[in-house]
Amino acid sequence: MASSMSTETTITPEIRAWLMQELRFPVMATIGKSGMPSLSVIWFDLDPDRDDVVLLNTLAGRVKDRHLRRDPRISLCFEDGNDYVTIEGRAELSDDREQALANISARSRRYGQEGAFAMGDRVDITVHVERVIRHR
C-alpha cells in the first residue's frame, strides 16, 4: 500500500477529527541546552476556536518548562500505527497558576483520569502551530 504525506500550516478539520476521534497521547519534543531533543508523552487538547493552537500543561520547573523558556520551538507527534500527524510550532507559556490548575483538571477528566496529575505550580503551554505534517 502506498503512503501519502501532506503539509499544512493549520490543523484542518480532517486532521482535527483524526486527533480527537480517540484519546491520543502525543510525544512532545523540546530542545535541551546541549541541542539534543528531549521527548516526553503529554496530554493535549485543541483550542475549540482556533485551528492553529494546541493546548498543553506541565509542572513549573520541569525539564520541558525549562527547555521551552529557553527555546520555544516544539514538536508533537501523534501516531496510530503507520499513520501519524506531526505538529511543529512555538510555545507560549503562561504562569497564571489558577488557570493552569483549572486547565489540567479539565484535561485529566477528558483523559478519564480525574485528579491524576502531579500537584504543584502548573504552567499552561500554548503551541502556536507553524506546520502540520500528515502521513498515512
Cell reading at 78: 501523534
Q: What does the pLDDT read at residue 96? A: 96
CB atoms within 10 A of CB 85: 22
Mean pLDDT, rounded, of the chain:
95
Helix (H, G, I), strand (E, B) or coil at 44: coil
Q: Is 112 left (phi over 0), alpha (psi -120 to 50) or beta?
A: left
pLDDT tens figures, 50-82: 999 999 999 999 999 999 999 999 999 999 999
Q: What is the pTM of this model?
A: 0.93
pLDDT for the residue numbered 114: 79
Q: Is 120 left (phi over 0), alpha (psi -120 to 50) or beta?
A: left
Higher local confidence (pLDDT), 118 or 6: 6
The pLDDT of residue 1: 55
- Quote the pLDDT of residue 2: 61
The pLDDT value recorded for residue 117 is: 84
- Mean pLDDT over 5-21 rounds to 96
